[in-house]
Amino acid sequence: MATNVELRHLRYFIAVAEELHFGRAAERLNISQPPLSQQIQALESNINARLLMRNNRNVSLTPAGHMFLQEAYQIIAQIDAAAIKAARMHQGELGEISIGFTSTAPFMHKVALSLRQFRECYPDVAIHMHQMNTKQQIAPLQTGRIDIGIMRNTLLPDNLEYQLLFRERFMLAVYDDHPLLQYANEGVSLEMLSDYPLVFFERDVGTALYDEIIALLANAGVTPMISQEAGEAMTILGLVAAGLGVSIITESFTRMKLDGVQYIPLANNPAYSEVWLVKHKNFNNSAAAARLTNLLISNMVDENL
């Protein structure tokens, strides 16, 4: 049986049921009494049930009225809860964010700090992290499977845009007692690496860093002797610690404290690697994603000074 019950009918009925007096209920609702009586009659007619017994002196709930009052409370509570959730989602306090990130992103201090701050401020926003190399993030950003990507600088398709988060220097990772440690204070020039085997990213894993470092060495006239390749940052450093070679890494790697590995700056080297925050130009990210984006950017300001 179809009904035509409106939300205001429920609020009117609840007021009368709680006051058990049409005059007081009308005053509480800030309406006059005759329209209130008409609305209650219309409600009873719509649901085909007598909810209230009334005479000149008393108003009381029928058994159907008692049951309907409890159901009305639940409906109003659900609507109020839905309104609160909608407002919180609109304000970025509720929802979900999918983030693509490179393997070194968790070791970038300001990235980790921003994620922790966001979690503390907005615990009801679910954050889904997806580890992908830079080029692997392109397709899911284009389809919307991930909302934002934290990646190295690369060539982007026209429908993606980036915001520079920060730049980081290149460093050299060596094992303990390596001969190059004698240059720890003044730094190592790239030309010195011609005689040392390198531990390197696999080409299809560390795509952006691989290209950057190969270009860096080429500009210095160095043809690298790649002795080992690995797909994970910790594996690369483990191979360095085992004495299988040295590795050119970025500064964020140095936050990985591994026994047997030491870090040396590169001398006279102005090159750096850029870390980008990338999103789709035409997709409207959620308010939660916008909040996280703004937090990341604001926390990175001093990185670029």
For each successive 10 residues of the chain (305 residues), what is the average pLDDT? Answer: 79 95 93 94 93 87 95 95 92 92 84 93 94 91 94 92 92 94 92 91 73 89 89 87 93 87 90 92 89 89 48
Which of 31, 57, 91 is the last residue before a domain boundary? Answer: 91
- C-alpha to C-alpha distance for 146 and 161, rounded to whole angstroms: 14
- C-alpha to C-alpha distance for 55 and 52, rounded to whole angstroms: 10
- C-alpha to C-alpha distance for 92 and 105, rounded to whole angstroms: 23
The verdict on 85 and 101 lying in the same domain is: no
Q: Is the dihedral of CA 25, 30, 31, 33 positive or negative?
A: positive
Residue 220 domain-assigned? Answer: yes
Which of 31, 64, 91 is the last residue before a domain boundary? Answer: 91
pLDDT of residue 206: 55
Residues 6+ apart with CB under 8 A from 244: 197, 199, 227, 228
Q: Is the dihedral of CA 130, 136, 141, 144 positive or negative?
A: negative
The verdict on 13 and 44 lying in the same domain is: yes
H-helix or E-strand spanning residue 74:
helix 63-90
The number of folded domains in the chain is 2
The range of the structural domain enclosing residue 189 comes to 97-304
- C-alpha to C-alpha distance for 249 and 268, rounded to whole angstroms: 16
The verdict on 101 and 87 lying in the same domain is: no
pLDDT of residue 147: 95
pLDDT of residue 293: 92
Residue 75 domain-assigned? Answer: yes
Residue 144 domain-assigned? Answer: yes
Residue 2 domain-assigned? Answer: no
This prediction has a pTM of 0.78
Which of 55, 73, 91 is the last residue before a domain boundary? Answer: 91
Residue 1 domain-assigned? Answer: no
pLDDT of residue 76: 95
